[in-house]
Structure 1
Amino acid sequence: MRRWRDRVSPETAGLPAGGQRRAAGLRREELALLAGISVDYVTRLEQSRATNPSAHVVEALARALRLSGDERAYLFRLAGLVPPGPETVPAYITPSVQRMLDRLAGIPVGIYDASWTLLMANPPYAALMGDPSGWRGNERNAVWRNFLGPGSRVRHTPHEQRAFEAAVVADLRVTAGRYPADQRLRRLVAQLRTNSERFAELWDAGVVGEQQAARKTIEHPQVGPLTLDCDVLSVAGSDLRIMIYTAEPGTQDAERLALLSVVGTQSLVG
């Protein structure tokens, strides 16, 4: 892990380089931030003092370290785990997708897996939709957040909310049919059916479909409402969904989005 850390620069990972650095690449603190785990745990992993890391932690480390497919598989085996097979919802972000995300640094971009679990969000996306760095487990799943969690900053009319809920459940059903052996996905669906009458109603209706591009209004707590185009791009062969928000040039929405890109996730209230 130390060698892999050394070859990833902070700039490549979207972090400020600032100050004198002893590490050739990422510091342990930076890797911990990117992977969503504690610095102490990174230290114990590097010193072989941590045992039995979960598949979720290994996947997060592989993404943060920008490992190739073979390196990712090797990391799973080092952790005593079997690399995820074709029956599991893919969560691997290829280096080419990483590079594309890097080139879209000024645009809000989030990468989701096929079950709508957020895998990665660039700083403009975090500024627009809320910082996801502290989200754990199902908190990172957009379907769970909308039915059982705090929801999102997207503003819907009652009719739009019903249509949105139907669309995401129909999309999730397609994924469940594609990956029927994925235990994590099965647990997610079971929890949603048990705890949300609305989800259970939509799920039992058996409708299937795919999430479509839409125009959304985001209620931002500092800059106010922004009406943006939300496009969802699919990555062939990996079943990733890339969500991109853009504004029409010359509009107040474009100005507010540009302001968010500058200030990031810091509070605008002084």
Structure 2
Amino acid sequence: MSRRELADFLRHRREALRPHEVPVTATHPPGRRARRTPGLRREEVAALAGMSVSYYERLEQARAPRPSPAVLTALGTALRLTAAEREHLARLAGQFPPGTDADRGPVPTEAHRLLERLGPIPAYLVDERQDIVAWNDAAAGLIIDFSLLPAAERNTMRLSIRLGTALCSAPAGAEGQFARQSAAQLRAATVRYPANRVLGELVNEFAAHSPDFAAGWRDHNVQPIPTLSKHLHHPELGELELERQTLLLPGTDLQLVMYTAEPGSPSAAALARLAPRGE
């Protein structure tokens, strides 16, 4: 159990929850003083979870013993946690045994076949480190020929830092979403694999190069963003408006990342021209 990580996660989720999102009776008891912060107060979360204020305070102060599954369920409901956040909370509280590098294993044959069958849809697989472990020809044609890169450089965040806006940008107002998404994924991975030093090294590296990643890490967010809008500058296909979609492969830690375009759009027509390498 990581008491400090658990305390920080609870505090950030409490501060992110707005009073209008919870029952009025919990946030407006008789005689309550004027609210000074946008998030919920500790006593409000305690009331919603059906526990004493002192116990909840000890949780946020990293002084409480390991919470039971029933307490975690109550906290998840009180804080309006998503399924991903509830699992993260349970892992922080030591309800799941930590994973090991041995759990990773090779990329399943079925996953390789899936990539091949996607044809002109650029797609690749990433592991918990955000390392690209497999890809199809369309992805190599759209982004970069991953086979020419050292294995250590086949990392989505490293490539984002290296290639920058020369390859890809995001719509106004969504510039930092990818970096924050990467921070959320690595945050969840560090809890799942607490003994993996490489994950901690990646976090330090990316936080030093990306303010958006650093901000996402500080927010303790673990909620995935399934779809991100991307604007790609391709030397042959021109300007492309794409969606980056991420799906978890069941039974693995691998995520399938695909780049798609609006059907009938110029970007969709451009993607269709991506031919396998060597043709």
Gaps of 5+ in 2: 1-97
Correspondence for 1:251 among 265, 268, 272: 265
Find the residue that maps to 1:209 and give its secondary structure.
Answer: coil
Offset of residue 210 of structure 1? 1.3
Aligned 1:1-270 pairs, distance under 5 A: 86-88=99-101, 90=104, 92-146=106-160, 148-151=161-164, 153-157=167-171, 159-261=173-275, 264=277
Matched residue, 2:67: none
What is the percentage of aligned positions where both structures have the same residue? Answer: 29
User: Larger Rg: 1 or 2?
Assistant: 2
2:241 alignment partner, SS class: strand
Q: Shift in Å at residue 106 of structure 1?
A: 2.8
Offset of 1:120 from its aligned partner? Answer: 1.3
Distance 1:127 1:233, change over 3 A: same
CA contact (8 A) 2:227 2:246 kept: yes
Q: Which runs of 5+ in 1 are unaligned?
A: 1-84
Q: Residue deviations 1:141-165, cap 9 Å, x none?
A: 112333x423362222452112332
Say which SS state the counterpart of residue 173 (structure 2) adopts. helix
AA paired with 1:169?
A: A
Residues 91 and 240, structure 1, Cα contact 8 Å, conserved in 2: no
Helix, strand or coil at the partner of 2:163: coil
C-alpha RMSD of the superposition: 2.6
- CA-CA distance at 1:204 after TM superposition: 2.8
Deviation at 1:258, TM superposition (A): 1.5
State whether residues 171 and 211 of structure 1, in contact with CA within 8 Å, keep that contact through their aligned partners in structure 2: no
Q: What TM-score comes out, normalization by structure 2 length? A: 0.57
1: CA distance, partners of 2:124 / 2:216: 26
Contact 1:127 1:260 in 2 (8 A): yes
One-letter amino acid of the structure 1 residue matched with residue 241 of structure 2: T
Count of matched residue positions in the alignment of Structure 1 and Structure 2 = 180
Q: Residues 157 and 138 of structure 1: is their aligned pair in 2 closer, same or farther, counting only changes over 3 Å?
A: farther
Aligned partners of 2:182 and 2:213 also within 8 Å? no
Does the aligned pair in 2 maintain the 1:168–1:211 contact within 8 Å? no
Q: Supply the distance in 1 between the matched residues of 2:186 and 2:99 (Cα, whole angstroms).
A: 17
CA distance in 2, matches of 1:138, 1:203: 22
Query: Residue 181 of structure 2 contacts residue 216 of structure 2 at CA under 8 Å; is this kept in 1?
Result: no
TM-score normalised according to structure 1 size: 0.58
| Cα drift, residue 91 of structure 1 | 5.6
How big is each residue's C-alpha offset from its partner over 1:15-64, in whole Å with a ceiling of 9 and x where there is no partner? Answer: xxxxxxxxxxxxxxxxxxxxxxxxxxxxxxxxxxxxxxxxxxxxxxxxxx
In the TM superposition, structure 1's runs of 4+ consecutive aligned residues that sit over 3 Å from their partners are 193-202
Match of 2:248, SS? strand
Alpha-carbon distance between aligned partners in 1 of 2:226 and 2:262, rounded to the nearest angstrom: 19
d(CA) in 2 for partners of 1:206 and 1:223? Answer: 38
Contact 1:126 1:265 in 2 (8 A): no
SS of the equivalent of 1:160 reads coil
Paired letter, 2:186: L
Contact map agreement 1:107 1:246 (CA 8 A) in 2: yes
Residue 215 of structure 1: how far off its partner (Å): 3.3
